[in-house]
Amino acid sequence: ILNSLGFKSDKFSRIFGKSEEILGFWKRIEKEREKLPFQIDGLVTAIDDNDLFKKAGVVGKAPRGAIAFKFTPEEATTIIKDVVLQVGRTGVITPIALLNPIKIGGVVVSRATLHNFDEIQRLGIKAGDTAVVGRAGDVIPEVRKVLKELRTGKEKSIKIPAQCPVCKTKIVKEPGETAYRCPNRNCPAIKKEKIYHFVGRAVFDIDGLGPKIIDRLLDQGLIQDAADLFDLKQGDLIPLPRFAEKSAENLAAAIQARKTIELPRFLMGLGIFRVGFESARDLAQHFGNIEAIEKASIDDLKKISGIGEKVAKSIYDWFRDEYNKIFFKKLMNRVAIKFYKKPPKKPIGKLAGKKFVITGILKRFSREQAKNKIIELGGKASENATQDVDYLVAGKEPGGKLEKAKKLGLKIINEREFLDLIG
């Protein structure tokens, strides 16, 4: 079908008659996967019959008619030459294993994140160890296991540092957190990482402004923070090594071109701890403008689903920190935030605002199907008979929920009445 509609489909895709054939094909591709011109982590199969596909039903979000066959992730053995520390933009210190370069899944890998010091302890990693390295989700290199039996006695244990490797400030660890952080907001490493993040693809997306140029701008005192980027003129850039008149002009123009920015990207650019792309988008959708977010209380922020206590507090604290206030004001004076249009609300369904609980066995639907139908029509499906439930749908052999609903005086309907309701 894809081909006849003009989509490119893979030449390996095919139709099978028996499940054994799929397994055979899967084994063959797994063997040959390194030779393929692209990287894959498995195969996807689907029933080639729409009626059968529907009959197979859905578990949660996953249709039973479509199944992914994953390959065993590839691993390789190499030596951990050393463990170095990397300071991130939030000050988090991440230990990184430097590896003897090794090919895993067709890519040469020389560094692998160790996540945190608990992980080093859990795996018992020492510098000089031989380790099994894989790629998380077949992408990000990670150390999976240490082969302790291969130790020579020369391996060195890895100590948790007392100081930031860059600014030498005493590092801290908050209760309940696994990460150690450099608390110095003037730490050169944090400053740099913040600006790298700021110009990155997901944030201000400034073309041609890579880490090397940022390092030079900082070294030469041309910028102190990300907001200063917008003051740079062509003439400031020409003296930089390897810059000519034209390239300086291009970069200055690229920076100015990003002065007008969408609200979610702007929020990401602030570098608020725990605020990633999804939270930024949710905040933008909920509040619509930056002023409302700036003024929001922790309770206001927590009203957004997906934003919990920790994230809400982090946002609230960020806007009330004296140092951040200065940066925020500086940035607001230099950029324009595009008017943020809230996406149109979903059309209101028949059951909008109504909350349902289903108990017992229904004839026409599985409970899952009935719930999906309710949600499709704008209603809510709940598991518990509580005071705010509008209808309890009682099927055959209803459970304790029916008793509870009676006690609470909820409206109880049978399957027939439910069908009338959903039309």
How many Å apart are CA 359 and CA 252, to the nearest integer? 64
**Are 153 and 131 in contact, with CB atoms under 8 Å apart?**
no
Interface with Zn ion includes 182 (CB under 5 A)?
Answer: yes
Minimum CB separation of residue 114 from Zn ion in Å reads 19
Nearer to Zn ion, 125 or 187 (CB): 187
Contact with Zn ion (CB under 5 A) among 67, 167, 375, 422? 167
Contact with Zn ion (CB under 5 A) among 80, 104, 123, 187? 187
* 3-state helix/strand/coil string of 294-345: HHCCHHHHHCCCCCCHHHHHHHHHHHHCHHHHHHHHHHHCCCEECCCCCCCC
How many Å apart are CA 39 and CA 199, to the nearest integer? 29
DSSP 238: T
Q: How many CB atoms lie within 10 A of CB 264?
A: 20
Interface with Zn ion includes 171 (CB under 5 A)?
Answer: no
Nearer to Zn ion, 19 or 186 (CB): 186
Stretch of 156-164, 199-207, 253-261, 319-327 contacting Zn ion, by CB under 5 A: 156-164
Minimum CB separation of residue 188 from Zn ion in Å reads 7
Stretch of 187-195, 249-257, 272-280, 400-408 contacting Zn ion, by CB under 5 A: 187-195
Nearer to Zn ion, 193 or 415 (CB): 193
How many Å apart are CA 347 and CA 54, to the nearest integer? 26
Minimum CB separation of residue 171 from Zn ion in Å reads 8
Interface with Zn ion includes 58 (CB under 5 A)?
Answer: no
Residue with tokens 């596909």: 53
Minimum CB separation of residue 91 from Zn ion in Å reads 7
Stretch of 184-192, 281-289, 311-319, 332-340 contacting Zn ion, by CB under 5 A: 184-192
- 175-211 b/e with 16+ CB inside 10 Å = b? eeeebbbbebeebebbbbbbbbbbbeeebbebeebee
Stretch of 55-63, 174-182, 221-229, 362-370 contacting Zn ion, by CB under 5 A: 174-182
In Å, the largest CA–CA distance within the chain is 82
Nearer to Zn ion, 187 or 223 (CB): 187
Minimum CB separation of residue 162 from Zn ion in Å reads 12
Interface with Zn ion includes 164 (CB under 5 A)?
Answer: yes
Q: ∠105-179-108 over CA atoms, to 5°? A: 15
How many Å apart are CA 262 and CA 254, to the nearest integer? 16
Interface with Zn ion includes 85 (CB under 5 A)?
Answer: no
- 50-87 b/e with 16+ CB inside 10 Å = b? eeeeeeeeeeeeeeebeeeeebeebebebbbeebebeb
Minimum CB separation of residue 191 from Zn ion in Å reads 9
Which amino acid appears at position 81 of this protein? Answer: K
Stretch of 25-33, 165-173, 368-376, 408-416 contacting Zn ion, by CB under 5 A: 165-173
Stretch of 98-106, 157-165, 268-276, 313-321 contacting Zn ion, by CB under 5 A: 157-165
- Interface positions with Zn ion (CB under 5 A): 164, 166-167, 182, 184, 187
